[in-house]
Amino acid sequence: MEREEFEMIAVGRALLGDPRWVAKVHASDRYGLTSFNPEVLAELV
C-alpha cells in the first residue's frame, strides 16, 4: 500500500464467489456483496 500497489487476489476471490461482483461494485451495491466462501472452490472442480 505504501507504493500504491495492491494484490489482485482479493478481487479474484470475490469473482469466484460472485460473478456479478464487478457489476455490484460499479452500481455501488455494497449490501449485495458477499464475503468469500472457500466452499465455492469445490464447485470449480
Asked whether residue 14 is domain-assigned, the answer is yes
Cα gap 39→44, rounded to integer Å: 10
Q: For residue 15, how many other CB atoms are within 10 A of its CB?
A: 14
What was the pLDDT predicted at 17? Answer: 82
Cα gap 33→4, rounded to integer Å: 24
Give the range of the structural domain holding residue 38, as residue numbers without chain letter: 9-44
What was the pLDDT predicted at 23? Answer: 94
Asked whether residue 3 is domain-assigned, the answer is no
Asked whether residue 24 is domain-assigned, the answer is yes
What was the pLDDT predicted at 32? Answer: 92
Asked whether residue 4 is domain-assigned, the answer is no
Q: Mind listing the pLDDT tens digit for each residue in 1-45?
A: 566 666 677 788 788 788 898 899 999 998 998 887 888 778 766
DSSP sequence for 2-45: TTS---SHHHHHHHHH-TTHHHHHHTT-TTT-----TTHHHHH-
What is the tally of structural domains in the chain? 1
Asked whether residue 25 is domain-assigned, the answer is yes
In this structure, what C-alpha cell is assigned to residue 40? 465455492
